[in-house]
Amino acid sequence: MRHWPPGQQIHNGKYIIEAILGGGGFGVTYRAQQPKEGKVVAIKTLNANVQGKPNFREYQTKFVNEALSLARCSHPHVVQVYEVFPEMAGNIELWCMVMELIDGTNLAEYLEDNGILSEAKALPIIQQVGSALSFVHQKKFTHLDIKPQNVMLRKRGFEAVLIDFGLARQVTAPGKLRTNSNSGTECYAPIELLEKRAELGAYTDVYSLAATLYVMLTGELPFPSQFRKQNIPLTPPKQHNSEISDRVNVAIMKGMELEPQNRPQSVQEWLDLLIPKPVAAETTRVVSAVGMDYTNLQNLLASKKWREADEETARVMLKVAGREKEGGLNTESIDNFPGEDLRTIDQLWVKYSNGRFGFSVQKRIYKSLGGTREYDSEVWEKFGDRVGWRKNNKWLYYKDLTFSEKAPEAHLPLRSGWVGWRLGVGWVVLFSRVNTESIVLKQMAVEVKLVSTVGMDYTNLQNLLATGKWKEADEETARVMLKVAGREEKGWLNIKDIEKFPCHDLRTIDQLWVQYSNGHFGFSVQKCIYQSLGGTTQYDTEVWYKFGDKVGWRKKDQWLYYNDLTFSEKLPEAHLPMGCFLKGVGKLEKLFGWGLVSSFSSRLVKCNI
């Protein structure tokens, strides 16, 4: 196979090739459409040249292993890998890596269009790439091709993202590292990559990162390392640009030492030369638009006290938002949350967890699953499973979470958005408003406003639920719903009443139940279970019986009477509310009850609940 043409469908039609984005000595990258999800992705695979090599299988095995490793590297400044899959190309099984397609330009193009950068603009980019490299090195593999062409700058936020990990370059056997034929790349490659050496490490990427900064500040390519081996000295960057500070000049020269043992042995060690620790610490610690002190949060994170740090995160965010009395954030407070403070909190979590925790880490995973600003129960459940907030198809309580570095990636922070959450709770509030960091905060339980379009007062219902008086709350639910529907004399609702029930009032009642039961009860919880069992507007005896068994309305193959129920939080999930179905009727007869639940489910969908 040479290349896939535009219009080629792969992975059983999941992706449609649109164009070739680029290629190199080993790989080719395509732009592809994902019709079902409505998004565009990048797909990388080994090119035709490699496919024809006798040791193609060796290349492909390494490609797959490294792609799978990269897929586990969820970091704000590392390109996101969504999946890896095989595809038949002629008589060859060709593995493909599906990646995030970044909306922006690469650093090389930016420099070409805008000229050299000042230190003030260049150093944050290098810091972001450096944090990505540190994270990748902890995952036990190196990039081996750091250069401006492999650093993308997002249009929004001007944040850097490291791409093209040059996986195939790590394939060759010890002592047979390939020589890079591209002169531009040669200028970024250390001697151990260009000579037949097998000893590669973090210091290999340090050289290339320092060379990238050299070009960003001077616009000049440094002498290739193999020429320097012939006693041609490296011209200090400050000779090209006198505006470069002595500190940065020395750091670049140190990072580009010819022999590996003379360079800083880790990216962080080199970054500490480039940017003094006090400045870096201040940048991360105290930037606040409202004078908030994040020292305690930093200390807790630095000492790996994850639960205390999570609770401190909630405390400072509530204080910044002026929501200490309410005890939770709402949509408005998130939208108005100062960008500087949000960025500081996120950076602290990312830094001290080595890129495992933080809002930006959560955002990357959430978006990779298809998450948007609009709530999607399927995506939300997948996200909960992925980050460890759900187990065995159940949302966990806060006390059951794992507060350690062994917790799943993106598991924390959580308490800042927690009010009492499980299946079907709240909406996902997304925002990306920070100058240099693109952040998302999942607000899992928004404040319930007692909205009614008919003037109904839901204060008593709220008070009963808040105090855990479940039977009284169930009876109050039936009372207010009958009153809203004008069915007080009849004493029960019918299908037509439900179909006309005001959406705002239905949402208020449901959200109150969901919030105060920790997501255990509520119409939306009942709807999710009913639909998960195959329930529709068409009556199905088997589905209806399964639903009754699941929510505890049936026992020993018999439908229960209202007086037979036990009102407590230990009841099955989605057991309540029920009085609106049963009051005045007694026993939940199958056809009658099915009609009401099915109608409620349909009404919730129409009301976007």
pLDDT tens-digit map of 238-263: 999 999 999 999 999 999 999 999 99
pLDDT-derived band at 174 (thresholds 50, 70, 90) equals very low
Mean pLDDT over residues 78-99, rounded?
A: 87
Distance CA 529, CA 574 (A): 8
> Which DSSP helix (H) or strand (E) runs through 152?
strand 151-154
Q: Which two tokens stand for residue 80?
A: 């996101």
Distance CA 440, CA 430 (A): 5
Q: Strands, E, within 424-477: which ranges? A: none
Distance CA 161, CA 175 (A): 31
Helix/strand/coil percent split, the chain, to 5: 45, 10, 45
Mean pLDDT over residues 453-475, rounded?
A: 88
Averaged pLDDT of the chain? 79
- Rounded to a whole number of angstroms, the CA Rg of the chain reads 29
> Which DSSP helix (H) or strand (E) runs through 111?
helix 107-114
pLDDT of residue 499: 84
Q: Closest Cα to residue 85, out of 59, 67, 66? A: 67
Q: Say if residues 153 and 105 touch (Cβ distance below 8 Å).
A: yes
Q: Closest Cα to residue 158, out of 103, 216, 235, 200? A: 103
The answer to whether the predicted template modeling score (pTM) of the entire model surpasses 0.75 is no
Is pLDDT of 459 > 50?
yes
Q: Closest Cα to residue 236, out of 214, 216, 219, 258? A: 214
Q: Which two tokens stand for residue 284?
A: 């991360």
pLDDT of residue 125: 92
C-alpha distances in Å from residue 459, one per residue of 154, 375, 465, 474, 508: 47, 27, 10, 14, 11
- Torsion, CA 100, CA 101, CA 102, CA 105, rounded to 10: 140
Q: Say if residues 376 and 96 touch (Cβ distance below 8 Å).
A: no
pLDDT of residue 418: 44
Percent of the chain with pLDDT over 70: 82
* Owner of token pair 């320092």: 210
Distance CA 182, CA 291 (A): 50
Per-residue pLDDT tens digits for 9-32: 999 999 999 999 877 667 888 999
Please report, in angstroms and rounded to a whole number, the separation of the first and last CA atoms in the chain: 49
Distance CA 515, CA 424 (A): 10
Q: Closest Cα to residue 193, out of 142, 152, 236? A: 142
